[in-house]
Structure 1
């Protein structure tokens, strides 16, 4: 059975549309990733604060990267069996996912990477249907 997958991805969520001869399935994967790692703690404007109250930037970055890795692994697990993969989205997540797919020897399945803005689930499904209908 030929499985074709299209996915819209950013750091907050991925919408995965799987198209087979039996029909179409839409799955949403939500990430636990904060958009930007931020320092927590009191603001110097509010008064004095101790340096040990503020986590180091490298620990914030490690946490951010760890959350991204878990998120990308979940996305890859849902598209691993696809014969053709179309990836699109507004930011850097699509390119980072592409690199992860290359590291998992799945880059041969990628049929396209596109930059698009935010889309509804219906718009995403239509775009994927049209893409794979044209590529037949």
Structure 2
């Protein structure tokens, strides 16, 4: 039974839509990323900008690792969403060749409702069979 996953992602949350046979499941992931520029102790204890940014980058890496773990069991993966998060996630995925080979599409998308996301994933996999897979996503020799 083929397991197709669609993942809408931005820097604050992600929605995972899993299609398997005729069933569909949805899961929401919330990012726990610090966006504060000051420490919680008050204005006297400000963190230097580089330290705050380094902490934010490390938190994003941990969150992307959590998302990668959630999608690793898929047969095919479709990633979409606004902003840079989808591309940052793709870079993290490409560190694992086995998972990277499962990515069949990455597209820009605006903010959507959960139902719109699920409909887009169903639509993508419904038409994907007639689409050509980009050369960089084809297995060697195919």
Any idea what the Cα deviations from partners look like across 1:78-128, whole Å, max 9, x if unmatched? 100111111011010000000111002222111111111100100000000
Match of 2:73 among 68, 73, 81: 81
Count of residues in Structure 1 that have an aligned counterpart in Structure 2: 126
Task: Identify unmatched segments of 5+ residues in structure 2.
Answer: 130-142
* Contiguous gaps of at least 5 residues in structure 1: 43-48
TM-score by length of 1: 0.85
Q: Deviations over 1:27-49 (max 9, x none)?
A: 00100013x5624553xxxxxx6
Asked whether the 8 Å contact 1:10–1:92 carries over to 2, the reply is yes
Q: Which residues in structure 2 correspond to 1:36-75 (within 5 Å)? A: 36=35, 38-39=37-38, 42=43, 53-75=45-67
TM-score w.r.t. structure 2 length? Answer: 0.82
Where 2:74 maps in the other structure, the secondary structure is: coil
Preserved contact between residue 4 and residue 20 of structure 1 (Cα < 8 Å): yes
Residue 102 of structure 2 corresponds to which residue in structure 1? 109
Work out which of the residue numbers 103, 115, 119 in structure 2 matches 1:122: 115
Structure 1 residue runs of 4 or more that deviate by more than 2 Å after TM superposition: 36-42
* Higher Rg of the two aligned structures: 1
